[in-house]
A and B are shown apart, each in its own frame.
Chain A
Amino acid sequence: MANLLCDERDVKFVLYEQLNIEELCESEKYSEFSRETFDMVLDAAVKLAEKEIWPTNADGDQKGVILEQGAVKVPESFHNAYRLYCEGGWSLLAVPPDMGGQGFPSVLNCAAVELFSAANQAFMMYPGLTIGAARLIEKYGTEDQLREYMDRMYSGEWAGTMCLTEPQAGSDVGALRTKAVKNPDGTYKISGGKIFISAGDHDLTENIVHMVLARVEGAPPGTRGISIFIVPKKRVENGELVDNDVICAATEKKLGIHASATCALNFGEKDNCIGYLLGAENEGMRIMFNMMNEARLAVGIQGLAQASAAYMHALRYAKERVQGPEIHALKDPTAPKVPIIYHPDVRRMLMWMKCVTEGIRALIYYAGYCEDRIHAAKSEEEAAKYQGFLDILIPICKSWSSDMGFRVTELAIQVHGGYGYCREYPVEQFMRDSKICSIYEGTNGIQALDLVGRKLAVKQGALFKSIVAETGNLLKNASKNYRLKDIVEPFAQARSQLVEVTRYFGLKSITEDFMIPVLYASPYLELFGDLAVGFMLLWQAVIADRRLEEIYNDAKADTPEKKAEVLRTNRSAAFYRGKVASAQFFSNTFLSLSKGKARAIMSGERSAIDLPEESFALF
C-alpha cells in the first residue's frame, strides 16, 4: 500500500523547492542540519505514522475513552504507539537544544506533525497538548519548575493540558470563576471546575500537568485579573507523588476524535488542590497569548492533515472503483466499465481537493517557515517582517485550513459514494475528526475577529500592507511568464478585490456603521484566505513550470505527443504538471469568485443584524 496519509513528493516540494529550507542551515542556529538529516527525519516520521500510529486510528474511533471511578482509560492500542512516539523523541523535534530538544526548524515540525495527525488526530492530542503546556513552562517557569515539570513533559514521561474553558466562559474567557487563594508558603489553593479539557485525563502517563487559568482572590474582573497556575494531577511531596485533588467528573460523547478524552475536571473538591503560580499574578492572559500562534497553527495542521489523508484515500478509491462506461459511451451497454476517475464530476472533485490540500499545506508550512526566519534573522528588521507575516497569517492558517480542510474530507465521502458514508471506509472518520478544528482553540468566528479587529489595525495596517507588497512581488515575477497568464489574471484581480474590501472596512470602522466589518469578518477571512492560498499556489506554479520546461527541453519534447509521452514516463514531469494544474484550477474556480465575494461583503447587507429575533422563526 502506498502512503495514503500524505503526498510525500508534495511535502518535499514545499520544503525544498518552494521554501528552500536548506538555506536555513546557513544560519548558525540551524547549522547542524542538512537536507540529508531533514530527509531522514521525514522518512522516520512516515514510517512511524504509517506502521504504528495509523493502525490505531479506526480502533480509537470505535473504542473511544472509558471513564471509570474518576479516571480515564485510552484505547489499549494507544499505549504502544505512545511509547514509540516518546522513544523516538518526536516531542523534542523543534524544542531548542538548551531545553533538551533537537532544535530542528519549525517548518519540519509542521511536516512531521501533519503526518502523525493524518495517521491519528485523536492520538496526537495527548503529545500535542503536552508540548503546548511544556512550552509555557519553558518560557515562564522558574528553574525549579523547568526541572520538575518541563523536562518530564518533553520526554513524554508526564503529560500536560490547557485548562481555560468553564461552562460560562468559553469564547468569553474573561468570565471564568476558578479561584486561587494564596497559601502562606507561596503556593495557591485552587478550586473550581473546567470543561472541554482535551487530554484532560488518561492512563498514558503517571502524571498530568494542568495549566489552569484562575482568578486570585481579590483580582480585578475580566481578563485583567486572570493568573495561570501549574496544577499537577499528582503533586510531589517529599519526593513522592501524592493525589492533588483533581477529579475527572465526565468525558464528553463527541462527533469525532472519540479517543481524545474531552474532560470535565473538578479542582479542589476536597479542598486539597495545590497550584503553583507561573509567571506573575494577573499575567495569565498575556502568558497564554504568547502561545496562541503556535496553538492555532497546530490546529491548522490538523485541518491540513485530515484533508491530506482524505484526498489520498479518495484518489486511490477513484482509481480502483469501477463503475459505468466513459461518458461518451453512456448509451452503449457493451462499452467497458471504467474506474470512476474517468468521470468528469469525480475529476472535478479530486482537482478541488488536490489544490485546496496543497494550498493549505504550503500556507501552513510557510507560517512555520516564517517562525524559523524570525529565529534565523540577521537583523531586527528582517525578524519583524516575518513576525508580521506570521501574525496576520495565523488566523487564516487556523480558519481557512480547518474550514476548507473539512470540505475536502466531506468531498472524499462524496467520491466514495455510499461506501464513503459507511464505517467500512475511513473517510467518514476523517470528516468527523476534522470538524472540531473550526471550533476549538478559538472558533473560526473568533479568528475572523482577531484578523479584522486586531491584526488589520496593527501599526495602521502595516501587516496588511506588507502582505500586499509581498504578493505584488510575486505577481510581477509571475507576469513575465506567458504560460502562467491564466493563473496570474484571476490572482491579480483577487488581490485588488481584497485591497478594496479592506479599504471599505477601514472606512466603515470609523463611521457608525462599524458593525459591518464585525458582521462580515468571516467572509472577509475567507476572501483573504483565498488570496493567501492563491499566493502559495502561484508561487509554486512559477517553480513547477520552470522545472517542467527543463524536463521537456532535456527530452526534446517539442510536440504535444512527445510531451504526453514524457508525462507518462517521467514521474517528476507528471508531478510538476500537477502543480501547475493546481494553481490554474484554484485561480479559475476560487479566485475568479473573489469579485462576487467582495461584492457580497460590500453590499453592507444588514438583515442579519437588523432582523428582530422574533422574526427568525416562529416557535
Chain B
Amino acid sequence: MKSLVCMKQVPDTETQIKVNSQGTGIVTEGIKYIINPYDEFSVEEALRLKEKFKQGEVVILTIGPDRCTESIRTALAMGADKGIHINDESLNSADPFVVAQALAAAASQVDYNVIFCGHRAIDDDFAEAGAMLAELLQIPQVTLVTKVEVSDDKTKAIVERDVEGGKETVEVSLPCVLTSQKGLNEPRYASLPGIMKAKKKPIDKKTAADLGITAEARLESREYSMPPERKAGKKLEGMEPPDAAKELVRLLRNEAKVI
C-alpha cells in the first residue's frame, strides 16, 4: 500500500499572528511552525494503511522553505518512510493552483495508491489544492474524509465523508485523492526511537526546474490586515422596558442599520 501525503507547514494555532508593517504578509520571525493539523490526520491514516497491509510506503510531499524540513522530519519520526521537499522561491508561497501544479508534477514522478491531502490548511484556509490536484492528475477525489477502508486488492476504497448534518459513504476507485477531515483518526506522537530513525531517512530536495514547471500565479494578494477589533457594546440602562425597546429599535435602525 503506497500513500503519498501532501503536507504543509503552518504557523502554530497558538501563535499570535501579527501583520508586517508593509501589509504584505505576516511577521514570520519568532513564529513556531507545526504540521497542518489536517495533514497530520493524513500522515496517521497513511501509516495505518501501511500497517494494515503490512507492506508499502508512506511518502511525505511538502512545498516550502528550509524550515519545512523540520515538519517532514517529524512526519518521518511518526513513521513515514521518506520525504520529498520542493523548495523553490517561486513556489513557496504560491497560490493554490500553482501549488496543485507542483504537487501534481511531483506526484507523477512516484508510485501511489492513494494521495492524501488535508482538506484545508489552517493558515490561508483555501481548501482548494487537494481538489485541483485530483483534477490535474485526472483521478477521482473524495473530500472531507472521516473513514477509509481500502479493499484487499487495492483497487477501490469505501470512504465516509462529512456532509451537512451527516455522513455520506462513497466508493471510489484507486488511485485517488482523499482530503482528510477532523475525526478521521487520532494522530500518534513521535517517539524517541522514531526521532532517531528519522534522521537517517531520505529527504529528496526538488526545485521548480526539477519538476519541469514554471509558476504562473493566478492569484494576487493585495494587502494583509488584522480583523477590526470588536467595538464595545452599548447597554441600555435605567430605562423602563417599553422605552428601552423603543430605543433599541431606533438604534438598530439608525445606528447599526440592520433593520
- CB of A3 within 8 A of CB of B18, answer no
Tell me if A8 counts as interface (CB < 8 A to partner B).
yes
**By the criterion CB–CB under 8 Å, are A102 and B21 in contact?**
no
Q: Are A43 and B74 in contact (CB-based, < 8 A)?
A: yes
Partner of B29, one of A39, A41, A92, A571: A571
CB within 8 A of B21: which of A87, A569, A572?
A: A569
Please indicate the chain B residues that have their CB under 8 angstroms from the CB of A41 in the complex.
192, 195
| Residue of chain B at shortest CB distance from A88 | B191
Check: B196 CB closer than 8 A to any chain A CB: yes
Complex formed: what's the CA distance from A1 to B15 in Å?
A: 9
Which residue on B lies nearest to A574, using beta carbons? B30
- Tell me whether B77 is interfacial, beta carbon within 8 Å: yes
What residues of chain A lie closer than 8 Å to B14, measured between beta carbons?
1-3
A40-B73 contact given A3-B14, A8-B32, A569-B18, CB 8 Å threshold:
yes
A90 / chain B contacts, CB cutoff of 8 Å: 192
Contact assessment for A48 and B32 in the assembled complex, using a CB-CB cutoff below 8 Å:
no
The residue that A571 contacts in the complex, of B21, B30, B69, B193, with Cβ under 8 A, is B30
Shortest Cβ distance from residue B15 to the other chain A in the assembled complex, whole angstroms: 8
Chain B residues with CB below 8 A from A87, complex form: 189, 191
Do A40 and B29 contact each other (CB < 8 Å), given the known contacts A3-B14, A48-B189, A569-B18?
Answer: no
Nearest CB to that of A571 among chain B residues?
B30
* A89–B30 CB distance below 8 A: no
Judging by beta carbons under 8 Å apart, are B30 and A37 in contact? no
B198 at the interface (CB under 8 A from A): yes
Q: In whole angstroms, what is the CA distance A442 to B193 when docked?
A: 35
B208 at the interface (CB under 8 A from A): no
> What is the CB-to-nearest-CB distance from B234 to chain A, in angstroms, rounded to a whole number?
15
Q: Is B174 an interface residue (CB 8 A)?
A: no
CA distance A32 to B198 in the complex (A): 12
- Chain B residues contacting A52 (CB-CB under 8 Å) are 189
Does any Cβ of B come within 8 Å of A481's Cβ? no
Q: Which residues of B contact A48 (CB under 8 A)?
A: 189
- In the assembled complex, B127 has its CB within 8 A of some CB on chain A: no
A84 contacts chain B at the CB level, 8 A cutoff: yes
Q: How far is the CB of B31 from chain A (nearest CB, A)?
A: 8
How far, in whole Å, are A9 and B12 apart by their CA atoms in the complex? 14
A88 with B189: in contact, given A39-B70, A43-B74, A44-B77 (CB under 8 Å)? yes
B191 touching A36 by the CB < 8 A rule? no
- 13 A-B pairs (CB sep. < 8 Å): A2-B14, A36-B69, A36-B70, A37-B196, A37-B199, A40-B70, A40-B190, A40-B195, A43-B190, A44-B77, A88-B191, A93-B192, A569-B18
Chain B residues within 8 Å of A, Cβ to Cβ: 14, 16, 18, 21, 27, 29-32, 69-70, 73-74, 77, 189-193, 195-196, 198-199
A residues within 8 Å of B by Cβ?
1-3, 8-9, 32, 34, 36-37, 39-41, 43-44, 47-48, 52, 84, 87-90, 92-93, 102, 104, 569-572, 575
